[in-house]
Amino acid sequence: MTKDSTFRQSRPATQRRGTAAISVAALGLAAAAITGCSGESTQNGVGEAQARVADVGYAELATPNLSAPAADIPLQDPSATGASESLGQSRSTALVRAADRVAPAVVSVGILRQQQVRQGGYWDMFMGPSTRRTTGFGSGFIIRPPGYDEAYVLTNEHVVRGAQQILVTLSDGRDYGADLVGADGLTDVAVLRIDAEDLPVAPLGTSRGLLIGEWSIAIGNPFAYLLSNSEPTVTAGVVSAVGRHIIPSGQDQGFYLGMIQTDASINPGNSGGPLVNALGEVIGVNTSIFSRSGGSEGLGFAIPIDRALRVAEDLIQFGEVRRAWTGVDVEAVVADTWGRTRGVQVSSVAPGSPADQAGLSPGDRLVGANGNRLGSPIDFEAVLLDAKAGDEVDLAVQGRRDPVRLVAEALPTSRAERIEILRDLEVISVTPEIRAERDIRAEAGALITGISASLSRSLSLARGDVILQINNTPVTTAEEAARALRQLPGGVRVRLYFERNGNWYIKEFSTRR
């Protein structure tokens, strides 16, 4: 992909390299909200949103010992060789060296979107909704997964969500158009590919065994394109906690499970950047902040790098994430008089599933999984989120001396044969395993696993819908759905019955002549 001229036109021509600060107006974030950290602005025509850029100077102040005579205050010539070397060594701390090791691989990710805007009233009635161009900026970093020769850019899914064009700016100032390899909304991970050589790669560490209180460094590069200054920003703090679950608070945010918490400042635009340890190894992907003001208040969160890397490898290899499945559903248990709960209760077990083969039954209480204590169903979901097909899962069951070991499998939907219909629709047959996985009411049907944007708009269908009947023809398999749709003549009315979220709907449409 060639460089995007749309982004090129928005680059300020008069700005020079140097330290700079950006003031972005009207962030408008709700109180005590979990917010993603990608910067965003809107443009109408030439553009509405602007960033004020001002040079910032720094001065170091030394406080003398006023109780000592002036003659006793030692003065050292900074130009002396020994003093210069001493100052240089004291400035080059472990954090400086760690940041210097990763910073070259940190990039800025620019996004161009087209959004529909409704004016309301008679305007929408007669003119319809208008469109406006919006731009967003986030961060990312370059990785080379084990076993791969090609380098990729790792960032957050919410940074590139809905993007029509993506521009990546490297730390050395080079700009490249980027292709989206894949994105996963559940884990908020996305992978980009750029056509470039000699890319610096971030050293990858592990998120296992993190120490509470160890140094953590948040690196981002959100505004490299706007500032004409491609050097990333660095903030430092400590690992405040691990295994944090973040529950959405009414905004358009998903669940974040098993996150790393840090007090390193993670400001808007730093989403997708790396969280680094004192050794200069990436331990997480900066994702969100908990803030009343929209800025950093010491509560930042990052996706563990082990999870992000596993998701990235699936996206590169399969274009989707192959999630682990055990066939067991759990629910919360009744709290004691102090409001505490211990464990989760098995509510259902899919026939023939790994849980069924391991001997689990509805009513069993699970108190631990893979050495992690279970206090709620979210704790159990967090364990499965970090597992993949083929991994062993050890479950501690109340009343049993030995743990129950089962081997996770790939989700039934990922194993099922996909039937493509006219290149716009992809379906799979609903099986008992898929019914249990998706909580589908119908005993049979064709589950939509892929649909083009145009067909989705025209038919109001979406991924996850289950086709049950087409006109008077019941649909029990993917093959039957494909055959019924392909045999429809042109210019006829069609009535399609489908299930969505446990409810049944009817959609009527006409085929093209």
pLDDT in tens, 112-122: 877 665 555 55
pLDDT at position 511 is: 77
CATH superfamily, domain 232-318, is Trypsin-like serine proteases (2.40.10.10)
Q: Which residues contact 126 (CB under 8 A, 6 or more apart)?
A: none
In this predicted model, which residue has the larger pLDDT, 268 or 396?
Answer: 396
φ, ψ for residue 393, nearest 5 deg: -120, 120
Q: Cα dihedral sign for 72, 77, 83, 88? A: positive
Average pLDDT, the chain: 78
CA distance 451 to 418: 12
Average pLDDT of span 364-380: 89
The answer to whether residue 123 scores a pLDDT higher than 70 is: no
H or E stretch including 347?
A: strand 344-349
The answer to whether residue 407 scores a pLDDT higher than 90 is: yes
Confidence label for 146 from pLDDT (cuts 50, 70 and 90): confident
In this predicted model, which residue has the larger pLDDT, 295 or 402?
Answer: 402
CA dihedral 180, 184, 188, 193 (to 10 degrees): -20
The answer to whether residue 464 scores a pLDDT higher than 70 is: yes
The answer to whether residue 42 scores a pLDDT higher than 80 is: no
What are 65-84's pLDDT values in tens digits? 444 444 454 555 555 556 55
CA distance 262 to 339: 28
Which residues lie across from 219 on neighbouring strands?
Answer: 234
C-alpha angle 223-23-249 in degrees, rounded to nearest 5: 85
What are 104-114's pLDDT values in tens digits? 999 999 988 77
**Whole-angstrom distance between the N-terminal and C-terminal Cα of the chain?**
37
- Exposure string of 394-421, with b = 16+ CB inside 10 Å and e = fewer, is ebbbeeeeeebebebbebbbbebeebeb
CA distance 292 to 125: 38
Confidence label for 153 from pLDDT (cuts 50, 70 and 90): very high
> At residue 460, what is the residue type?
S
The answer to whether residue 419 scores a pLDDT higher than 90 is: no
Q: Where are the domains of the chain?
A: 232-318, 324-410, 415-510
pLDDT at position 288 is: 72
The answer to whether residue 381 scores a pLDDT higher than 60 is: yes
Distance of CA 381 to the CA centre of its chain: 17
Average pLDDT of span 158-179: 90
Domain 232-318 and domain 415-510 have a common topology: no
In this predicted model, which residue has the larger pLDDT, 78 or 179?
Answer: 179
Residues in the chain: 513
CA atoms within 13 A on the CB side of 92: 9
The answer to whether residue 34 scores a pLDDT higher than 70 is: no
C-alpha angle 267-263-225 in degrees, rounded to nearest 5: 25
CATH ID of 415-510, from 2.30.42.10, 3.10.310.10, 3.40.1160.10, 3.40.50.2300: 2.30.42.10
CB 389 within 8 A of CB 413: no
pLDDT at position 251 is: 46
CB 12 within 8 A of CB 53: yes
In this predicted model, which residue has the larger pLDDT, 242 or 127?
Answer: 242
pLDDT at position 116 is: 61
CB 205 within 8 A of CB 215: no
Average pLDDT of span 253-265: 83
Active-site positions read 158, 188, 271
What are 501-511's pLDDT values in tens digits? 988 898 888 77
pLDDT at position 436 is: 87
- Residue closest to 109 by CA, chosen among 47, 22, 171: 171
CA distance 305 to 198: 23
The answer to whether residue 444 scores a pLDDT higher than 60 is: yes
The answer to whether residue 90 scores a pLDDT higher than 70 is: no
Quick one: tokens of 169?
């700016």
Confidence label for 139 from pLDDT (cuts 50, 70 and 90): very high
Confidence label for 338 from pLDDT (cuts 50, 70 and 90): low
Distance of CA 490 to the CA centre of its chain: 43
Which residues lie across from 239 on neighbouring strands?
Answer: 262
CATH ID of 324-410, from 3.40.50.1980, 3.40.50.720, 3.40.50.2000, 2.30.42.10: 2.30.42.10
> At residue 433, what is the residue type?
E
